[in-house]
Structure 1
Amino acid sequence: MHYRRLGSKWLVRLDRGDEIVTSLKELVKKEGIRLGAVSGIGAVGRATIGLFESATKQYHSREVTGDMEIASLTGNISELNGEAYLHLHITLTDATNAAFGGHLSAATISCTGEIIIDGMEGQADRAFSEEIGLNLLKF
């Protein structure tokens, strides 16, 4: 992973073999980013994506492999129990240009990843909602 800070933004390049979520958590911790927005593009060879089923309050994850373009990586940075919390979603396309995606648990870069973190002033905490079954932004 390589990155450069530009004001309140970070321009990030992930290289082949870098795992997106782990790399971004490392950067967020190192740079002390407590609140922000994430966007990116690139290519991955393996990803674990999920869908939250509201009726059962469970995530259903699946691993996908092969050459895939990141059509969109988006999400936010907040905190849960004093630790960085990344909530990321990804849209991937395959060799037929079919798109699929969901909540991003993990993805390994196959060529490159180009990500922008837009830092914000302040912080936002999360708390688990028994009713919903997710860690929601706390206001």
Structure 2
Amino acid sequence: MEYRKFDQGYVLRLDSGEEVVSCLTRLVEQEQVQLGCVSALGAANDVTIGIFDTTEKQYHARRCQGQFEISALVGNVTRKDGEPYLHLHITFGNPVTGEVYAGHLTSCTISATLELFLQVWDGQVGRAFSDTVGLNLLNF
């Protein structure tokens, strides 16, 4: 991972074999980012996504392996108990096969490159677990 800092935030480039969630978490820890939003695109070959079942209150995961274009990776950076908390969603697909997937991002290994913009906001927003919903919700 290589990145450059700007007044508004960071621009990152991930290369083949790098994993998105771990790289972004490392940057957020190193740079002490408290609050931000994420936008990215690129290519991946191993992606695990999930969907939250509101009845069961648990995530169901799906791993996808192959050649995929990431058309959108969006999300936010907050903190939970002082630690970085990434909430990321991804849409990716293969136009040759017609496959398209979307969901909550658990892991994503880059096949060619990923171009990620992390806009940083002043202030801090935390997370707190909601027994009602079963998720860590924004806590103001």
TM-score after normalising by structure 2: 0.97
Match runs of 1:65-80 below 5 Å: 65-80=65-80
Q: Matched residues in 1 for 2:62 and 2:24: separation? A: 21
Q: Which amino acid aligns with 2:7?
A: G
Matched, 1:81 2:81: yes
The one-letter code of the counterpart of 1:73 is: L
Structure 2: distance between partners of 1:97 and 1:88 = 23
- The yes-or-no answer on 1:25 pairing with 2:25 is yes
Once the 2 structures are TM-superposed, how far is the Cα of residue 97 of structure 1 from its aligned partner? 3.9
Root mean square deviation of aligned Cα: 0.8
Return the offset for 1:132: 0.1
1:96 alignment partner, SS class: coil
1:40 matched to which residue of 2?
Answer: 40
Amino acid at match of 1:84: P
CA deviations on 1:98-128 (whole Å, 9 max, x unpaired) are 3211000000000000000000000110000
Q: Output the amino acid matched with 1:129.
A: S
Residues paired across the two proteins, number: 139
Residue 55 of structure 2 aligns to a residue whose secondary structure is: coil
* Fraction of identical pairs, as percent: 46
Unpaired runs of at least 5, structure 1: none
Q: Quote the residue 2:121 is aligned against.
A: 120
Q: Distance in 2 between matches of 1:84 and 1:125?
A: 10
Match of 2:54 in 1: 54
1:8 shift after superposition: 2.2
Aligned equivalents of 1:70, 1:31: Cα separation in 2: 26
Q: Where does the alignment leave 5 or more consecutive residues of structure 2 unmatched?
A: none
Aligned mates of 1:133, 1:22 — CA distance in 2: 24
User: What SS is found at the alignment partner of 1:33?
Assistant: coil
Alignment correspondent of 2:136? 135
Which stretches of structure 1, 4 residues or more, deviate above 4 A after TM superposition?
A: none
